[in-house]
Structure 1
């Protein structure tokens, strides 16, 4: 079995639990660049993961603070699906990944880091991205800064003429 070993995410795990939801903070802020919001749809939005498993790791979340997909309205569920599809298109064009992991963790037992605000993870994958560096040196090579990734994704998004 291949594993994405992510020892750098321990910073996220060990951080004090914030008093507010970072997804709700991003929605309320409207400072998309500060919060790495890529796109705002009618009911949901696309945001970069600040502790990515791989470069370009995105999350799609509803504006409303809800713990599970089953709590979403049909319109929210549709927008969630459409923005997940858009995330795949943006990442494919920006980074040309070999594949994707797309998924939702509902509840702490399922691995949800933010279990009270449901979100879909969209993780681009490349052959060999589970290499030896994290295993031997406790190092994950993310070849691009979050700011650069954000700029690249926003530029690609403009090509889709959505904004």
Structure 2
């Protein structure tokens, strides 16, 4: 019996796990090959989040705070589905967070490239507040969360990932959504793809069809 508790087959060396044949050694392992991810029978389930490496490595983060390099300035100029835009207003728009704390994590932000809350004019301030309220109502209708975290991180020292363009977070919360997984493993389990979340929220958003709403250029 070998180290995995199984009986070795004919020709297999006693006390060692079966390895690839010489014919297989030149073949690259594919993601579909279960053997590439460790022992098949160890009583553990694994949550693979390779997309998080983009965030960890800082890929796509603007090199500076200029409007030219700002992703929040580029997003409204493109397609709503590709940009994860949920809704558009006259002065502000709503977009899903690409690296969400929870499913349904939205950001409300002005089209104008401003960094500080005090830089908003009266009309932008009013629409930012109104769209934040609508984001909460829409999320309640689509997902029935138990609560929310709302907040603006002002400056990198306060935790802003892109400090040059003001954005307000709207994060739905459920009982038990903070557990050992993000605390111990720095991994967040998300039950729904971003494209599906965007579609559900855009369809639930009240008012005109977001696809025909104001487009910022």
If the TM-score is normalised by the length of the shorter chain, which range does it land in?
0.7 to 0.9
CA root-mean-square deviation? 1.6
- Distance in 2, matches of 1:120 and 1:34, equals 21
Partner of 2:57: 14
- Distance in 1, matches of 2:76 and 2:203, equals 21
Report deviation, 1:133.
Answer: 2.1
Q: Secondary structure at the match of 2:138?
A: helix
Consecutive unaligned residues in structure 2, runs of 5 or more = 1-50, 64-68, 210-217
Which structure is higher in helix share?
1
Aligned length: 153
1:10-159 alignment runs, 5 A limit: 11-16=54-59, 17-19=61-63, 20-29=69-78, 31-157=79-205
Q: Secondary structure at the match of 1:76?
A: helix
- Distance in 1, matches of 2:85 and 2:104, equals 12
Give the TM-score normalised by structure 2.
0.66
1:95-154 alpha-carbon deviations (Å, 9 max, x no partner) = 100000000001111111110000100000001110122234443210000011111111
The change in CA–CA distance for 1:13 and 1:24 in structure 2 (over 3 A counts) is: farther
Which structure is higher in strand share?
1
Give the TM-score normalised by structure 1.
0.87
The change in CA–CA distance for 1:13 and 1:107 in structure 2 (over 3 A counts) is: farther
- Distance in 2, matches of 1:103 and 1:137, equals 25
The change in CA–CA distance for 1:11 and 1:131 in structure 2 (over 3 A counts) is: same
